[in-house]
Amino acid sequence: MAKYKCKICGYIFDEDNIEEGLNIPEGTKFEDLPSSFKCPKCGMPKSMFMKMD
């Protein structure tokens, strides 16, 4: 599983450890999130996230 970082605020979406309260089922891959997904910290769209190596 991978981690994705918001380019604006640095929030990290971790596929292995999805934050409670996001209403996203555990094990959901970032690419499977709807295009309407927004950063829970700053509100930027999914397109503003980059995959971390």
How confident is the model at residue 25, as a pLDDT? Answer: 93
CATH topology of domain 1-52: Rubrerythrin, domain 2 (2.20.28)
How confident is the model at residue 1, as a pLDDT? Answer: 86
In order along its 53 residues, the chain shows pLDDT tens digits of 899 999 999 999 999 999 999 999 988 999 999 999 999 999 999 999 999 98
Distance CA 30, CA 2 (A): 8
- Long-range CB contacts for residues 26-32, cutoff 8 Å, separation at least 24: 29/1, 29/2, 30/2, 30/4
How confident is the model at residue 53, as a pLDDT? Answer: 86
Full-model pTM: 0.91
